[in-house]
Structure 1
Amino acid sequence: MNTPAQQTGRIQRQLTETQIKNAKAQETAFKLVEPGGLSLLVKPSGAKLWRYRFTLHNSESMLALGRYPDVSLKRARELHQEARKLVASGISPVHHKQQEKLSTFGAVASTWQEATNGRLRASTVTQREREIKNDLLPKLRSRPIDSITRIELTRHLQVVEKRAPETARNLRTHLNGIFEHAIDIGLISANPTPPRRVLQSRQSKHHLALPAERTGNFLRALDNSRVNAETRIAMLLVLLTAARKDEVISSKWEEIDLKTKSWTIPASRMKTKREHWIPLSPQAIELLKKLRELVPDECEHLFPNRVDPRRPMANRSLNAVLDRLGYAGESTPHGMRAAFSTHFNKMGANIDVIEQCLAHIPANKVRAAYNRHAYQEERREMLQAWADYLDLQRVG
């Protein structure tokens, strides 16, 4: 049964936990009230919401203090007192709360990502978002940005380093960018990101590369496997085009021109930030025609993600193929490029043509500035010779 205070709306001078627990929902919302503007709104749905109504600068406003029982009566009174002190100082607790939300680590990290995503490749954005979501936000999301210390960041990075050294190094880079952004927008005056020396140095490591003469064994294993057609085509295109794994799996149909037998990768997707033109051999064209029959017309990517077709194939898909076929300890998808390079360097082919095929920026900047010949015909001949060589290796 409802209390008289509930029925008449009279001010209840001192609420108790029992009164709050026993307050039952009615057809219309009603309030349980304490002095100083604190009240508990009981909605027809049964939700019980703490509210603080105050007047500041001749204007009435309302501050939400949370939901009962998540926010207890005791905690609601504490929040109420904190808000009253702000009002007494001429500060709106609503505005103060909004500012606090904007100055949390999670909020600053989000605005930093929005400001910098446009400068990065899509795969880099995805990786960065995943690392921040998995290893920074669970610990720091709701923390005020100015309360985070160098010592706690050091300890956290060192914990991550034991599990994933490369991720820890990436996280340190992300943290540095986030805190520099916080300085730029006036939230802090010093960057607490630990120096690089708190983590172990990266060990120089080359991608495992399959010897060119072993490609036949690999191709036969791939042909005889149960790898799905789309993934198999992706792996073969990595081999045939000498392109990087991400350039292949993130490719879009608009980049492919079957009439001119070419694939043009925009600068935004290239590691070098320069547009890259790739001549397509008949073997590559045949694969693309098969792929076109497999991929729905509405998909913009050659290799749409199975879970979300608006995104490209998962980054680990081709590595998983190598694992399944028993080549994980012998090569990586990126190492397939090394097989191409090694083969033609052994043959004494023109190094400039090889480097153009691999989309490498020449180390000699003076030479790069004057040698503007794109070697298009030579590159087409080289990639055709490579495709023919792979066919010969496949048949042993």
Structure 2
Amino acid sequence: MTTAIPLRENSRPLTETRVKNAKPNPRPYKLVEPGGLFLLVQPSGTKLWRYRFKLNGIEGLLALGRYPDTTLKRARELHQDARKLVADGINPVHHRQGEKLQTNLSTFGNLAASWRLVTDGRLRPATIKQRERELKNDLLPKFQSRPVASITRAELAAHLTNVEKRAPETARNLRTHLDAIFEHAIDVGLLTANPTPPRRVLATRRSTHHLSLPSERMGNFLRALDASRINPETRIAMLMVLLTACRKNEVIGAEWKEFDLKGKSWTIPAARMKAKQEHWVPLSEQAVELLQELRKDTDGKHLHLFPNRVDPTRPMANRSLNAVLERLGYGGESTPHGMRAAFSTHFNKLGASVDVIEHCLAHAPVNRVRAAYNRHAYHDERRSMLQAWADYLDHQRNEL
């Protein structure tokens, strides 16, 4: 349990005399000035200058030095510099870390850390964690202490091909990281050429198709799902994947604020879409009924439709729906993503409009020239198609 450090409020600004004469207490205490600057007096007698700030609603703490090495006058100067950074939306702690790295970027480890400071802020937390893990496991152990200028294309190529033997996808990610890190080295004037090997040093990624349940097996699957003792929320999540033809991650990460149940529509923000473009999904009568049932059962008290059981502030675990298929005996026949293929196959067999199918699937048009001229969003057609798909699934479920 953290013990709060008491404040000593000052009716007037601090003076060198007051700072110098501040005596230690059994517990640490603060002498504060306006604007977040304070002197932390430790029981040992150590006196530390600190600046407490808030940026984007999050509190931060910047160390400004130790008294008397850092005088009151100097602490105020450093405090003002830091306040200007905060006013410009810059975290002064991160700014200082960046300055320290810039003074010694000659090693790969420091260069990679500098690159991350510049780029991490634009990424999702999950992407940052993955990148951090890949650097820690497969790049830093070998190159961290190496002078950047001494790293050659040949040894990078050899290292990537070794990683590829056990983890092809990781090797491709590492090559992307290396290319960006060495481009950063060029940007800061450390190098004039990028030693990252070309993509051809790694095998071309093979396209894999997700297993898709044949239409004649769809009824059996739906009946098995309805009869199972699976958590009701998980069951609804699986049905929403089917009814909306959306990707698994789009469904399990859905938030209530994205839905207009009266208007029977769901708008997925660009940040959650694979193509980074907002996607409008018309909801069938069956989908709306499921969502109303879900809201009634959960009172809509969570941010997500399908909250994580361990941490309700996060969405359902990524493998939950795959586990449902495995539990029902369909793991070898389909994946959640494969349900989209079942939707596409069904309507392509019927000779339906390819444009409408692809819009439902949020696919980028293959023919870019035609796409440039065809701005029609097919809202009515998509609503009719998804309603027809929901009716077809009901028919399959009820046909014995």
* Contact 2:111 2:185 (8 Å CA) reproduced: no
After superposition, the Cα gap between the structure-2 partners of 1:143 and 1:149, relative to the gap in structure 1 and judged at 3 Å, is: same
Match of residue 274 from structure 1: 277
Offset of 1:203 from its aligned partner? 1.7
* Contact 2:212 2:334 (8 Å CA) reproduced: yes
For 2:393, the aligned partner's letter is L
- Give structure 1 regions of 4+ aligned residues with deviation exceeding 6 angstroms: 95-98
* Contact 1:264 1:275 (8 Å CA) reproduced: yes
Matched, 1:182 2:185: yes
SS, match of residue 100 in structure 1: coil
Matched, 1:157 2:160: yes
Matched, 1:228 2:231: yes
Offset of 1:140 from its aligned partner? 5.0
SS, match of residue 104 in structure 2: helix
After superposition, the Cα gap between the structure-2 partners of 1:142 and 1:220, relative to the gap in structure 1 and judged at 3 Å, is: farther
SS, match of residue 278 in structure 1: strand
After superposition, the Cα gap between the structure-2 partners of 1:135 and 1:213, relative to the gap in structure 1 and judged at 3 Å, is: farther
After superposition, the Cα gap between the structure-2 partners of 1:216 and 1:182, relative to the gap in structure 1 and judged at 3 Å, is: farther
Match of residue 387 from structure 2: 384
Moved more, 233-242 or 183-192: 183-192
Match of residue 89 from structure 1: none
Moved more, 355-364 or 341-350: 355-364
After superposition, the Cα gap between the structure-2 partners of 1:370 and 1:206, relative to the gap in structure 1 and judged at 3 Å, is: same
Distance in 2, Cα, partners of 1:264 & 1:100? 47
After superposition, the Cα gap between the structure-2 partners of 1:379 and 1:229, relative to the gap in structure 1 and judged at 3 Å, is: same
1:108-147 alignment runs, 5 A limit: 108-114=114-120, 116-117=122-123, 127-132=130-135, 134-137=137-140, 145-146=148-149
For 2:335, the aligned partner's letter is T
Distance in 2, Cα, partners of 1:264 & 1:296? 21
* Contact 2:256 2:300 (8 Å CA) reproduced: no
Matched, 1:99 2:103: yes
Distance in 2, Cα, partners of 1:295 & 1:131? 38
Report Cα offsets for 1:56-97 as digits up to 9, x if no partner.
Answer: xxxx89xxxxxxxxxxxxxxxxxxxxxxxxxxxxxxxxx978
Distance in 2, Cα, partners of 1:122 & 1:333? 24
After superposition, the Cα gap between the structure-2 partners of 1:173 and 1:194, relative to the gap in structure 1 and judged at 3 Å, is: same
Identity %: 69
Larger radius of gyration: 1
**Structure 1 residue runs without a partner (length 5+):** 1-26, 28-42, 46-59, 62-94
* Contact 1:105 1:141 (8 Å CA) reproduced: no
For 1:254, the aligned partner's letter is K
Distance in 2, Cα, partners of 1:102 & 1:388? 64
Offset of 1:147 from its aligned partner? 5.3
SS, match of residue 372 in structure 1: coil
1:332-351 alignment runs, 5 A limit: 332-351=335-354
* Contact 2:307 2:314 (8 Å CA) reproduced: yes
Distance in 1, Cα, partners of 2:198 & 2:177? 13
Match of residue 60 from structure 2: none
Q: With structure 1 as the length reference, what TM-score do the two structures score?
A: 0.67
* Contact 2:160 2:174 (8 Å CA) reproduced: yes
Distance in 2, Cα, partners of 1:131 & 1:343? 40
Matched, 1:210 2:213: yes
Match of residue 358 from structure 2: 355
Report Cα offsets for 1:272-328 as digits up to 9, x if no partner.
Answer: 232211111121112222332455755322223334433333333322333333333
* Contact 1:241 1:280 (8 Å CA) reproduced: yes
Matching residue within 313, 317, 324 for 2:316: 313
For 1:163, the aligned partner's letter is R
Moved more, 132-141 or 166-175: 132-141
Distance in 1, Cα, partners of 2:139 & 2:318? 22
Moved more, 107-116 or 349-358: 107-116
| Paired residues, number | 306
Offset of 1:231 from its aligned partner? 2.3
* Contact 1:183 1:189 (8 Å CA) reproduced: yes
> Please, what is the CA RMSD of the aligned residues?
3.3
For 1:244, the aligned partner's letter is R
Distance in 1, Cα, partners of 2:134 & 2:230? 29
After superposition, the Cα gap between the structure-2 partners of 1:303 and 1:248, relative to the gap in structure 1 and judged at 3 Å, is: same
Q: With structure 2 as the length reference, what TM-score do the two structures score?
A: 0.66
* Contact 2:359 2:377 (8 Å CA) reproduced: yes
Match of residue 77 from structure 1: none
SS, match of residue 311 in structure 1: coil
SS, match of residue 177 in structure 1: helix
Match of residue 263 from structure 2: 260
Moved more, 148-157 or 332-341: 148-157
After superposition, the Cα gap between the structure-2 partners of 1:96 and 1:284, relative to the gap in structure 1 and judged at 3 Å, is: closer
